[in-house]
Amino acid sequence: PQDKLQKNSKGLSDFCIKNIKQAEFGRREIEIAQQEMPGLMILRKRAGGEKPLAGAKVVGCTHITAQTAVLIETLVALGAQCRWAACNIFSTQNAVAAALAEAGIPVFAWRGESEDDFWWCIDKCAAADTWEPNLILDDGGDLTHWLYRKYPSLSKKIKGVVEESVTGVYRLYQLSKMGKLCIPAINVNDSVTKQKFDNLYCCKESILDGLKRTTNVMFGGKQVVVCGYGEVGKGCCAALKALGAIVYVTEVDPICALQACMDGFRVLTLGEVVRQVDIVITCTGNRNVVEREHFDRMKSGCMICNMGHTNTEIDLASLRTAELEWQHLRPHVDQVVWPDGKRVILLAEGRLLNLSCSTVPSFVLSITATTQALALIELYNAPQGRYKKDVYLLPKKMDEYVANLHLPIFEAHLTELTDDQAKYLGVSKYGPFKPNCYRY
């Protein structure tokens, strides 16, 4: 797509996507998504008079899906200008990108970018002749770090960055520790509404979907090992067990391991179980969790996939040896064949399964996206000095506000504290209802 000049119906061409002609189909997908994203839609409605993001120039780097499109268009509705790139080379929904381009939003992304394309797209968003971003919305930290390294002076002028992923947040804390963070950052990843909803509930549903769409595997009776029992791992394990799989867990953290035990999963090392399992799932956020020695011991037909942010969890390089044959079976499904005929099925080349091979329910994403929008508004409008060059969590009250915006869809009715009860508990009637250390 880099070489192909496309124009949208208004004659604009400041974008780079697969095919502008898919715009209409993408628009329909965005409309469907809107109906399950109540938080953002209410924010838009309230924008009526005010434009809390007027003058904001948001550069974004996220998965490009119908749901992020709803977020981007919400930011625009709130007054912002946006430029957007993809944070993952496989997850872009081309039609959605087309719909955004058609709507006049400069978007640079397509499914199946090369490594070079990826950075080229980011660069196109980061800097342009007439564009100096003042806010960053990032998922993974690639954009933030590109700006840092390539446009150090520019990056200093930025009002703040909102980061969603474990990895990206980790990189920000590293910078902060080393005293190298030069702008305020809001860590959306550790908001309870992100961590407990997006990571847990979203992965709970999408692990099943991703596996089914790629392999039609039956879950009942299948033996599965899940590496990592954090939020993502908890979601994957719960769903697989609920459908009749026999699930084993690996962990490094004794507390998470004990939770796995109490929840009814055997905790073993990968070496101990890898021989007997039908499916291996990584969700540690770590690297080289599945290595060649594990592959060599898997049984024929074993499937491997990753739910963590990066494709480093599985050591794929170790499979690129002469005696192993790689066969491409279906989109996102590869088969690696051992000399003795043993075959192992690799999904999405080790990239994040659910974003590559399934779609994610809009509702869960609505929670994160609403949090992101609120975080950008907060950073943009905060009085000088409220945020230093540090990493912040959103105030709990905002977390509760985000949750509240998502209750009506369930026809859920909250109880209100009486004055007497509020006093007894020592909290305000209108929240925040819990101390900061509360874990949910």
Chain positions 376 to 415 lying near its own copies, rule: CB under 8 A, are: 393, 399-401, 403-404, 406-407, 410-415
Question: Which among 214, 206, 243, 241 is positioned nearest to 225, based on CA atoms?
Answer: 241
Neighbour-count burial for 240-278, b at 16+ CB within 10 Å, e otherwise:
bbeeebbbbbbbeeeebbebbeeeebebeebeebbeebb
Neighbouring residues of 8: CB distance < 8 A, sequence distance ≥ 6: 15, 20, 23, 101, 102, 104
Q: Which of 26, 39, 52, 285 binds ligand NAD (CB under 6 A)?
A: 285
CA distance to 200, 203, 219, 267, 394, per residue, from 242 (Å)? 15, 14, 9, 18, 33
Lay out the site mask for its own copies across 194-233 (x = CB under 8 A, - = otherwise): -xxx---x--xx--xx--xx--xxxxxx------------
| Residue 315 binds its own copies, judged by CB under 8 A | no
Q: Residues, the chain, total? A: 440
Q: Which of 282, 358, 368, 372 binds its own copies (CB under 8 A)?
A: 358
User: At its nearest, how many Å lie between ligand NAD and the CB of residue 242?
Assistant: 18
Question: Out of its own copies, ligand NAD, none, which partner does residue 283 contact, by CB within 5 to 8 A per kind?
Answer: ligand NAD
Q: Which amino acid is at 228?
A: G
Chain positions 341 to 400 lying near ligand NAD, rule: CB under 6 A, are: 352, 354
| Cβ pair 272, 225 in contact under 8 A | no
Nearer to its own copies, 148 or 363 (CB): 363
User: At its nearest, how many Å lie between its own copies and the CB of residue 217?
Assistant: 7
Nearer to ligand NAD, 15 or 295 (CB): 295
Q: Is 369 exposed, middle or buried (0-12, 13-18, 19+ CB in 10 A)?
A: buried
Residue nearest ligand NAD (C-beta atom): 230
Lay out the site mask for ligand NAD across 213-242 (x = CB under 6 A, - = otherwise): --------------xxxxxxx---------
DSSP 8-state symbol, 199: I
User: What whole-number distance in Å separates Cα of residue 301 and Cα of residue 344?
Assistant: 5
Question: Out of its own copies, ligand NAD, none, which partner does residue 199 contact, by CB within 5 to 8 A per kind?
Answer: ligand NAD
User: At its nearest, how many Å lie between ligand NAD and the CB of residue 352?
Assistant: 5
Q: Which of 35, 174, 421, 428 binds ligand NAD (CB under 6 A)?
A: 421
Provide the 10 A C-beta neighbour count for residue 29: 20
Nearer to ligand NAD, 101 or 267 (CB): 267
Lay out the site mask for its own copies across 13-52 (x = CB under 8 A, - = otherwise): ---------------x---x--xx----------------
Chain positions 263 to 302 lying near its own copies, rule: CB under 8 A, are: 263-270, 272, 276, 285-289, 301
Copy the structure tokens of residue 282: 């990584």
DSSP 68-98: HHHHHHHHHHTT-EEEEEESSSS---HHHHH
Chain positions 146 to 205 lying near its own copies, rule: CB under 8 A, are: 170, 173-174, 190, 192-193, 195-197, 201, 204-205
